[in-house]
Structure 1
Amino acid sequence: MANSASGMAVHDDCKLKFLELKAKRNHRFIVFKIEEKIQQVIVEKVGGPDESYDDFAASMPADECRYAVYDFDFTTNENCQKSKIFFIAWAPDTSRVRSKMLYASSKDRFKRELDGIQVELQATDPSEMSLDIIKGRAL
């Protein structure tokens, strides 16, 4: 694949915010955007620890691709509190083909920069990243 050839830089802020989410748990989610003009992945939005999954889903644009990480808290069948960090590759059907290709070819390299992702989801419409799907993948 052409992942390493996509030449997409990752802004330091992306890794910094992800480390804060993973280690300090002071973010619920982070939405990342590829800034095509500067060929770099940047942080577009950070959700506070008290924001809900609906807040997160609402921050995904209807017709543009994004990457996102979501820190999902849940209780296991054994009644243990756990959390899993989801990586979501958002590529709605209505987004531009060039954009979908750019996000697809840069995804693996970008994901490698974020050490600690436990579950990956690909979504082309909101139903593919519903809370039920997140719960199902977490357990």
Structure 2
Amino acid sequence: MANAASGMAVNDECKLKFLELKAKRTYRFIVFKIDEKQKQVIVEKLGEPSLSYEDFTANIPADECRYAIYDFDFVTEENCQKSKIFFIAWSPDSARVRSKMLYASSKDRFKRELDGIQVELQATDPTEMGLDVFRSRAN
């Protein structure tokens, strides 16, 4: 079970849904939250492959911490269609201090459970995870 140093336990559904996104492109994004009562990270929302970046950001609460995975499609300078799997640690300044500490202390353990993350973003306000940031980090 989880202890303070290693962070929260990770619900198996988190790993299953991530594998589906990675292997089958079943989802465009996954939003995860820490369930403090169950002391574990759980899947909060799944975004269909047809959804846009705007749909993704609409599913991230403005004043609560979350983890998210976003499957970012882009075209390289050589005109190749590619995609990269982004891990976003969302910790807005307006979130509760306890929540920010919980998410910060659990992040590394949670990330280790999701094998195949290509780019990591830390964001405290929406501009830090804007499409321009995704584009610059993807290339």
- The TM-score with structure 2 as length reference comes to 0.96
Where has structure 1 moved over 4 Å in runs of 4 or more? none
Q: Say whether residues 1:83 and 2:83 are aligned partners.
A: yes
Show the counterpart of 2:70. 70
Query: What is the CA–CA distance in structure 2 between the aligned matches of 1:51 and 1:59, rounded to whole Å?
Result: 11
**Contact 2:35–2:42 (CA<8 Å) still a contact in 1?**
yes
Identity %: 79
Question: What do the CA deviations read for 1:66-86 (whole angstroms, capped 9, x no partner)?
Answer: 000000011100011111000
Stretches of structure 2 lacking an aligned partner (at least 5 in a row): none
- Structure 1: distance between partners of 2:7 and 2:121: 23
Is the aligned partner of 1:104 residue 2:104?
Answer: yes
CA–CA separation in structure 2 for the residues paired with 1:17 and 1:4: 25
The root-mean-square deviation of aligned C-alpha atoms, in Å, is 1.1
Paired residues of 1:4 and 1:109 also in contact (CA < 8 A): no
Query: What is the letter of the counterpart of residue 44 of structure 1?
Result: E
**1:48-63 map, 5 Å:** 48-63=48-63
1:30 matched to which residue of 2? 30
Give 5+ residue unaligned stretches, structure 1: none
The 5 A counterparts of 1:3-22 are: 5-22=5-22
- Number of the residue aligned with 1:42: 42
In structure 1, distance between residues paired with 2:124 and 2:53: 17
Cα distance in structure 1, aligned partners of 2:109 and 2:35? 16
TM-score when scaled to structure 1?
A: 0.96
SS state at 1:69 partner: strand
Distance of aligned partners of 1:77 and 1:41 in 2 relative to their CA distance in 1, 3 Å threshold = same
1:113 is matched with 113
Distance 2:94 2:49 in 1: 30
1:121 and 1:7, CA in 2 relative to 1: closer, same or farther beyond 3 A? closer
Q: Greater helix percent: which structure?
A: 1
